[in-house]
Chain A
Amino acid sequence: MIELINSISVSLLVLIILGLALVGYFTVRKHAISAAGGDARVLHSLPGYYGYNAAMCIAVPSLLILVLWLLIQPMLVQNAVIGLIPDQMITEGSSVGLVMSDVRRVAEGLNTAVAQGALTRTEAVDLRVDQTDVRALLADVGVALGSDVQAPVLQAAQKYRALTATGAATMVVVVLAIAVLGFALAFRMTHPAFRARNTVEAGVKALLMIAASLAILTTVGIVLSMIFESRNFFQLHDWKDFFFGTSWAPNFRGNSDLAILPLLWGTLYISVIALMVAVPIGLFAAIYLSEYAGPKVRAVAKPLLEILAGIPTIVYGLFALLTVGPFLVNLFGRGENGVLGVEWMSGATSVLTAGLVMGIMLIPFVSSLSDDIINAVPQSLRDGSFGLGATHSETVRQVVLPAALPGIVGAILLAASRAIGETMIVVLGAGAIARISGNPFEAMTTITTRIVSQLTGDTDFASPETLVAFALGLTLFVLTLGLNVVALIIVRKYREQYE
């Protein structure tokens, strides 16, 4: 019996529960019909609803318990096992987490050994360090360990195995019992007057609510993790230097200058150039498409413009690095050999390169949103303007655009927040030098590129040089969140006024 229960894995358990739910659906549905004497009209709800109710009673509580169990059991097991590890081992091995991961690895190794037949079940339980070379044994079954296994670790691993196995077996029994109980309950509840339809409705509502709250909770989780890591950073690094310093010079031997201002400057400079490209072109494209273009042109041009939005940003980055950058150097650099004969630009990576390409990336974003907004301006306003003898462009300039303005401002702010958060184009196009300068031909760097470079490669998650990435990320998040909120407020406020 124990063997059978132990052989049930979590995925199999889920399948069993779902199978049970299916059986429950058909059984209870049939039971409902027979309870009504074969006349489904006597039932409060359609027979299917009784079936759904049964499936819900079987699957929902048991799966919920299963999830909770899987979350909580490792914590309880770890707490129980940790007592076996002597204190001096923990101080040597620097942290409890490291020792525990050793324990888990040995335990898994033993499981693998048993599964492959290198050990019998009893042998695995009785294994002793002084009798067997555990490391060699586990290496034979393909589990490599960093060092020789010490006695407490092996003991702890054996206890870990035992507890986990017991826990898993108990879990299977409990979860299946709950499922069966749910089945019985649903069966008993089913009589013609039972309002199964309403119960199912409540279940559907709960399901939708769970989906919505999961999305929100994830966001909250991400924000919280960023806040905690940023707090760690500010314990290691002076917040005044981070926000008000003017130099960015990370140094992995410590004592780095980690100031956000040069990065913020680069970010905003590039974003402004991008918007200077994207807003006029995008807006004019939107006006042409929504006001002037015939249906045929529109049918072709709009999807084409939206293809631009589907290009991965890394491709734009390549475009910046390989096409736009060298083109700009040819135009503004290379002294006598250049087109303009000036020596303003030395390398292909610059604020201008990244800004131009990012602007191109944002064009479809601005035009598509503005197009929708312009189309939403009521035709009656255009008629009113035409009726007074205004030309098409007068109508657009004086009636359509003012009416669409709040929406357009919102679209631009959304584009700005995308520009600020954009990464790949600036990684490839903007360069890596943090500085505050007004020259658009110089390389600069942005918050996003620095986050990438601080977190790639060999990193130590306890040093300010790495943790600064979270503080940067949090600042970026606050910035874009602020922009989005302002955009939404503007859009909402003016929409109320004009409707």
Chain B
Amino acid sequence: MRDNSLPERDVDTKTVKIAARDVQVYYGDNHAIKDVNVDIEDKTVTAFIGPSGCGKSTFLRCINRMNDTIDICRVEGDIRIDGEDIYDRAVDPVQLRAKVGMVFQKPNPFPKSIYDNVAYGPRIHGLARNKAELDDIVERALKRGAIWNEVKDRLHAPGTGLSGGQQQRLCIARAVATEPEVLLMDEPCSALDPIATAQVEELIDELRQSYSVVIVTHSMQQAARVSQRTAFFHLGNLVEFGDTDKIFTQPEDPRTESYITGRIG
């Protein structure tokens, strides 16, 4: 037993999933992200922390090209997922977003039933051959989202009728239903109460088994609890990036230390 568990753990870590080099983002004339270089590993939770307006959400939205939907936004530099440049002309942003799922700050279930919410992605990408397969996908996604037991009896009730925490877990289930490789979370717990937050955090930890998770958060406790790697952004710069334990105990940069101890924010 002990003999086979060790090599498995080695494979689990240290594969670079997302590699960003010299990324610049401009909103009109405003230079929002400056020279960001970061390597995000597979099957790891990476937390982005930093004061409001520091560019962490903007950078997160570069990873699935959501910034394309904002007219005045311009992205320069190089972001690669599995070695493939996602800003290459040949890459279809629509396909990319199926591979890089996203969960937003505020739970945003569609005004449809719970089932249709989860089936939305698989349907538009044609992932199921028939109804039975689709049912399967939905059930699996809801189980992954740790919400199956609460909703299995009312799959056809509107998703908007759930509580805030349930809605957010539904959105996570919706995002994992398309079998993404990367899951981006933009302050997923900021609209939730402590109990719902704890449930979602537990879920994030489970999702790490299958995905590379990137989470933007304002709560340093949350970053410390759920992430293995942490990146600290300040005024559009990536100040420090490293193991979460190290960032929170022995930060190298004085700005990181001031932020973590609450002196800037």
Q: Which residues of A contact B (CB under 8 A)?
A: 294-295, 378, 380-391, 394, 398-399, 402-403, 497-498
Q: Is residue B11 contacting chain A, with contact meaning CB distance below 8 A?
A: no
Q: Is residue B124 contacting chain A, with contact meaning CB distance below 8 A?
A: yes
**Judging by beta carbons under 8 Å apart, are B69 and A386 in contact?**
yes
CA distance A498 to B111 in the complex (A): 6
What secondary structure prevails in chain A residues at the interface with B? helix
Interface segment, one of B94-102, B146-154, B219-227, B242-250: B94-102
Q: Is residue B64 contacting chain A, with contact meaning CB distance below 8 A?
A: yes
Across the interface, which residues of B come within 8 angstroms of A390, CB to CB?
94, 120-121, 124
Q: Is residue B178 contacting chain A, with contact meaning CB distance below 8 A?
A: yes
Q: Is residue B229 contacting chain A, with contact meaning CB distance below 8 A?
A: no
Across the interface, which residues of B come within 8 angstroms of A497, CB to CB?
111, 158, 160
Given A383-B66, A497-B158, A498-B160 in contact, is the A388-B120 Cβ separation under 8 Å?
A: yes
**Judging by beta carbons under 8 Å apart, are A385 and B110 in contact?**
yes
Given A390-B94, A497-B158, A497-B160 in contact, is the A385-B104 Cβ separation under 8 Å?
A: no
Q: Is residue B156 contacting chain A, with contact meaning CB distance below 8 A?
A: no
> What are 9 A-B contacts with C-beta separation under 8 Å?
A380-B106, A381-B111, A384-B108, A384-B171, A387-B102, A389-B95, A399-B120, A497-B158, A498-B160
Across the interface, which residues of A come within 8 angstroms of B124, CB to CB?
388-391, 394, 398
Distance in angstroms from B50 CB to nearest chain A CB is 21
CA distance A403 to B110 in the complex (A): 8
**Judging by beta carbons under 8 Å apart, are A386 and B160 in contact?**
no
CA distance A384 to B66 in the complex (A): 10
Given A378-B108, A381-B108, A383-B66 in contact, is the A388-B158 Cβ separation under 8 Å?
A: no
Query: CB within 8 A of B104: which of A294, A383, A389?
Result: A383
What secondary structure prevails in chain B residues at the interface with A? helix
Q: Which residues of B contact A (CB under 8 A)?
A: 64, 66, 69, 71, 94-99, 101-102, 104, 106, 108-112, 120-121, 124-125, 158, 160, 171, 174-175, 178
Across the interface, which residues of A come within 8 angstroms of B171, CB to CB?
384
User: Would you list the 4 A-B pairs with minimal beta carbon distance, nearest first?
Assistant: A389-B98, A387-B102, A380-B108, A389-B97
CA distance A394 to B109 in the complex (A): 16
Distance in angstroms from A288 CB to nearest chain B CB is 16
CA distance A387 to B66 in the complex (A): 7
Given A387-B64, A387-B102, A388-B98 in contact, is the A402-B108 Cβ separation under 8 Å?
A: no
**Judging by beta carbons under 8 Å apart, are B94 and A387 in contact?**
no
Across the interface, which residues of B come within 8 angstroms of A381, CB to CB?
108, 110-111
CA distance A497 to B94 in the complex (A): 30
Distance in angstroms from A374 CB to nearest chain B CB is 13
CA distance A294 to B70 in the complex (A): 11
Q: Which residue of chain A is the closest to B120 with respect to CB atoms?
A: A388
Q: Which residue of chain B is the closest to A494 with respect to CB atoms?
A: B111
**Judging by beta carbons under 8 Å apart, are B66 and A388 in contact?**
no
Across the interface, which residues of B come within 8 angstroms of A389, CB to CB?
94-99, 121, 124-125, 178
Distance in angstroms from B210 CB to nearest chain A CB is 17
CA distance A289 to B249 in the complex (A): 53
Known interface pairs A381-B110, A402-B112; 6 further A-B residue pairs with C-beta atoms within 8 A, sorted by A's residue number: A294-B71, A383-B66, A387-B97, A388-B120, A388-B121, A388-B174
Q: Which residue of chain A is the closest to B71 with respect to CB atoms?
A: A294
CA distance A175 to B193 in the complex (A): 66
Query: CB within 8 A of B111: which of A294, A387, A402?
Result: A402
Q: Which residue of chain A is the closest to B177 with respect to CB atoms?
A: A388
Distance in angstroms from A489 CB to nearest chain B CB is 18
Across the interface, which residues of A come within 8 angstroms of B104, CB to CB?
380, 383-384, 387
Across the interface, which residues of A come within 8 angstroms of B102, CB to CB?
383, 387-388
Given A398-B120, A498-B160 in contact, is the A386-B110 Cβ separation under 8 Å?
A: no
Across the interface, which residues of B come within 8 angstroms of A398, CB to CB?
110, 120, 124
Distance in angstroms from B71 CB to nearest chain A CB is 7
Distance in angstroms from A382 CB to nearest chain B CB is 8
Across the interface, which residues of A come within 8 angstroms of B112, CB to CB?
402
CA distance A383 to B174 in the complex (A): 13
Query: CB within 8 A of A399: which of B66, B69, B99, B110?
Result: B110
Distance in angstroms from A389 CB to nearest chain B CB is 3
Across the interface, which residues of B come within 8 angstroms of A402, CB to CB?
110-112
Q: Which residue of chain B is the closest to A499 with respect to CB atoms?
A: B160
Q: Which residue of chain B is the closest to A389 with respect to CB atoms?
A: B98
CA distance A295 to B69 in the complex (A): 14
Across the interface, which residues of B come within 8 angstroms of A388, CB to CB?
97-98, 101-102, 120-121, 124, 174-175, 178
Query: CB within 8 A of B110: which of A294, A295, A384, A391?
Result: A384
Distance in angstroms from B112 CB to nearest chain A CB is 7
Distance in angstroms from A266 CB to nearest chain B CB is 39
Distance in angstroms from B224 CB to nearest chain A CB is 27
